[in-house]
């Protein structure tokens, strides 16, 4: 009996295999049999993709929250600058009429 070599699957293959599970009537066993892999391997890929998807979603959410915070600070600064310019404009408008 010879030594079995370990098969390596690309990330695209894994994503497509997991995507086949969403087809109507598709079961883990039937998809695994079609692809020539063990059902447990397909389940592992599905769980890995779900976990990475949730991690990506959390990272995206944190990035969006940081961007929102930055935009709020910038908005407050711009409002303050606008108020200063408005007051300066009113000050100079009164000063021009007195001369």
Q: Classify residue 3: in a domain, yes or no.
A: no
Q: 22 burial class (0-12, 13-18, 19+ CB within 10 angstroms)? A: exposed
Please compute the mean of the pLDDT values over residues 7-22 and round it to a whole number.
91
Q: Classify residue 6: in a domain, yes or no.
A: no
What is the greatest pairwise CA distance in the chain? 107
Q: What is the pLDDT of residues 58-85, one digit of tens each?
A: 888 899 999 999 999 999 999 999 999 9
Give the domain range for residue 35: 11-98
Q: How many domains does the chain have?
A: 1
- Single pTM value for the model: 0.54
Q: Confirm if 51 and 18 have CB atoms less than 8 A apart.
A: no
In CATH, what number is assigned to the domain containing residue 92? 1.10.10
């Amino acid at each position: 009996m010879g030594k079995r070599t370990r098969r390596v699957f690309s990330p695209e293959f894994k994503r497509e295999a997991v995507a086949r599970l969403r087809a109507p009537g598709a079961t883990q066993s039937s998809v695994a049999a079609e692809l020539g892999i063990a059902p447990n391997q397909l389940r592992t890929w599905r769980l890995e993709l779900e976990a990475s998807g949730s991690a990506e979603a959390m990272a995206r959410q944190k990035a969006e929250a940081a961007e929102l915070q930055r935009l709020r600070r910038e908005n407050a600064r711009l409002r303050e600058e606008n108020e200063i310019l408005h007051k300066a404009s009113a000050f100079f408008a009164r000063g021009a009429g007195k001369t």
